[in-house]
Chain A
Amino acid sequence: DIQMTQSPSSVSASVGDRVTITCRASQDISGWLAWYQQKPGKAPKLLIYAASSLQSGVPSRFRGSGSGTDFTLTISSLQPEDVATYYCQQADSFPHSFGQGTKLEIK
């Protein structure tokens, strides 16, 4: 099974800051990676699919990059509504495992 490891586990940043979250797969998953945002008490929401494609309706400040084993989610200018936990998920092979999550807070 493929293990997904996110870092950091939590991050605190100021409004307007650039925030970067990384996700590493235990083996090559090509571009089969998605990023999800989950706000407290809510269902997750798809932000990025196929490593770098922005889901419809998602603000352009969110950007995904990477391929193979190393991936990055970048928020170019942090907004208060971005407070959430972010998860990566590989969709290359079953089971479609998630990373452990990165909790993003405002400083």
Chain B
Amino acid sequence: QVQLVESGGGLVNPGGSLRLSCAASGFTFNDYYMSWIRQAPGKGLEWVSYITSSGRSIYYADSVKGRFTISRDNAKNSLYLQMNSLRAEDTAVYYCARVDVETNGMDVWGQGTTVTVSS
């Protein structure tokens, strides 16, 4: 079945780094754009980043620009988020989502991975 599974979350010190992964299965990964979205504890959804199917076009929220890097490996059906210079305000559940290329609707979501930035 169509599935996204995130991994790589955990507890990290402020200023530290973490790399999130999102493994896709059940669909042709390189036909789809992908996004990362996060949700701080008790808060709403925040769009984080977006990558086209080839990886040629990439976009970021201002809050993470220059610190986070989105990438994908179509041969491994995987999406990544490299997070550097982490801050307490980056603490959140991070979701990866499949993006329909025609509508930009995010029609498949992972279960989320939790990132906690604290000393």
Contact = CB atoms under 8 A, between A and B. Distances in A.
Interface stretch (A20-28, A71-79, A88-96): A88-96
Contacts of A94: 50, 59
A56 to B, nearest CB: 8
A7 interface: no
Contact of B103 (A49, A98, A99): A49
B47 A96 contact: yes
Contacts of B103: 34, 49-50, 53, 91
A98 B61 CA distance: 12
Query: By DSSP majority rule, is chain A's interface helix, strand, loop, or mixed?
Result: loop
A3 interface: no
A71 to B, nearest CB: 14
B109 A87 contact: no
A46 interface: yes
B47 A49 contact: no
A98 B104 CA distance: 13
A36 B47 CA distance: 13
Contacts of B110: 43
Interface of B: 35, 37, 44-47, 50, 59-62, 95, 100, 103-107, 109-112
